[in-house]
Amino acid sequence: MPLIVNLRHLEENSLALKGELPPEELDLDLRDDLVRAEKPLQYDLEAQLVDHELLVRGHLRLPLQCVCVRCLKAFEIQLELKRWTQLLPLTGEEQVSVTGDCVDLTPFVREDILLEFPQHPLCEADCRGLPKTSVGKIKQPSNAGQSAEKASAWAALDKLKLKH
């Protein structure tokens, strides 16, 4: 169920909204194997009418399952928006969509959550990456007595007889 505010409930007092929003409802459409949202978004918000605008503020928290870009270790981080605030106009050119007497806050939450996603998640700030191994290292030729000049890439070019 999306995060919806009924404007009629706000005519006299502010409204406290507290609960969870499943990740499917956020519709994050992530195409990133390094960051996934598998657990619900937790919200603790207060909504009120201010003139002809809807003011919503509070706290958003979403646990993210990540893979470190350096060492490929899986870890979890808490994405938190501690002082999340939205001032949504109810009239004018930039007014929000009102269906019946309700405003859906889900698109605004989704946008701000996506802006806070880690671009290059690290398990630790000083992660050293994958351990060094001998895989992929260049082996020395068996005839180690051969000069470095002949073993170099330029040696083949030096053999060419080019006219000036």
* pLDDT tens digits along 69-103: 999 999 999 999 999 999 999 888 989 999 989 99
Residue 104, domain member (yes or no): yes
Residue 84 lies in a domain: yes
135 within domain boundaries:
no
- DSSP letter (8 states) at residue 139: P
Residue 83 lies in a domain: yes
Return the structure tokens found at 122: 């690290």
| Residue 148, domain member (yes or no) | no
**CA 142, 146, 147, 150 torsion-angle sign:** negative
Average pLDDT rounded to a whole number, residues 137-150: 55
Q: Exposed, middle or buried by CB within 10 Å (0-12, 13-18, 19+), for 72? A: exposed
Range of the domain at 19: 4-116
pTM exceeds 0.95, yes or no: no
Q: How far is 128 from 34, CA to CA, in rounded Å?
A: 17
Q: Please check whether residue 21 lies inside any domain of the structure.
A: yes
Q: 3-class DSSP state for residue 65? A: strand
Q: Is the pLDDT of residue 52 over 60?
A: yes
| CA dist list (Å): 37 to 76, 109, 118 | 10, 14, 12
Is residue 134 assigned to a domain? no
- Whether 158 has a pLDDT exceeding 90, the answer reads no
Residue 128 resides in a domain: no
| Residues near 109 by beta carbon (within 8 Å), at least 6 away in sequence | 3, 21, 26, 41, 43, 60, 84
How many structural domains comprise the chain?
1
- The tokens 């880690």 sit on which residue? 118
Please state, for a pLDDT cut of 70, what percent of the chain lies above it.
87
